[in-house]
Amino acid sequence: MSRMQRLLMNLFDGWFQLRHRFPKTLLDDMTTAIARGEREHRGEVCFAIEARLAPGVVLDGVDAERRARQVFAQLHVWDTQHNSGVLFYVLMAEHRVVIIADRGVAAVVTQGEWDAIRDHMLASFSRGEWRKGCLDGIAEAHALLLRHFPGNDADAPDELPDRPVIL
C-alpha cells in the first residue's frame, strides 16, 4: 500500500466507526475476558485500539507495525514480572491488527501462532463480526499463554490494564 493510500485511509476512515465497532458493551466484555483469562496464567494481555494515525505520522513513514511497537513501549507491555506481556494493536483506518509479545513469550510462542490469531480476527472483522473477532482473539491468546505460562499466584498483581485502551 502506498503512503498516499495510507494517508487517505487515515484521513477519511477509522474514527467515524470507532464507537460503532467498539461500543461500551464490547469494551466491557473484552475487559472481563482479559481479566478472567489472566487469572489462569502468568501472562498479561493488553488491547489497544487506534482509529487512525495523524497525517504527519503517516507521511513520516510510520506504519501499523512500527506504531504498535511504540504503543507496546508507551503502555509498558514490556515491563511485566515474567516478561509475558502481549499487546493486541488495532489500527482501524488501515484495517490492521498487530500482535506483539514480550521476549519471555516470544521465546516459546512462534510469530506464526500470533499471525494465525491475527488472521482469525481480521476474517471476523471483514464480516463485520467485531465482537467475535476480539473475544476469540483474546481467548486464543489466553490458550497460548496458559500452555506456556500456566498457573497464577492469587496475590500476583495485575500489571497491565485489562480494559482496552483507546488511543
Express each pLDDT in 26-63 by its tens digit. 999 999 999 999 999 999 999 999 988 887 888 888 89
Is residue 9 pLDDT above 70, yes or no? no
For the chain, the domains span: 3-166
Is residue 16 pLDDT above 90, yes or no? no
pTM above 0.75, yes or no: yes
81 vs 164: which has the higher pLDDT: 164
Q: Can you name the CATH fold of 3-166? A: Diaminopimelate Epimerase; Chain A, domain 1 (3.10.310)
Residue owning grid cell 497525517: 55
Highest mean pLDDT: which range of 9-13, 68-72, 90-94, 157-161: 68-72
User: d(Cα 65, Cα 77) in Å, to the nearest integer?
Assistant: 15
- The answer to whether residues 64 and 94 touch, using CB atoms and an 8 Å cutoff, is yes
Mean pLDDT in residue range 129-147: 97
CA distances from 45 to 9, 22, 32, 110, 121 (A): 28, 18, 12, 17, 16
User: d(Cα 166, Cα 48) in Å, to the nearest integer?
Assistant: 6
| Torsion over CA: 30, 31, 32, 35 (sign) | positive
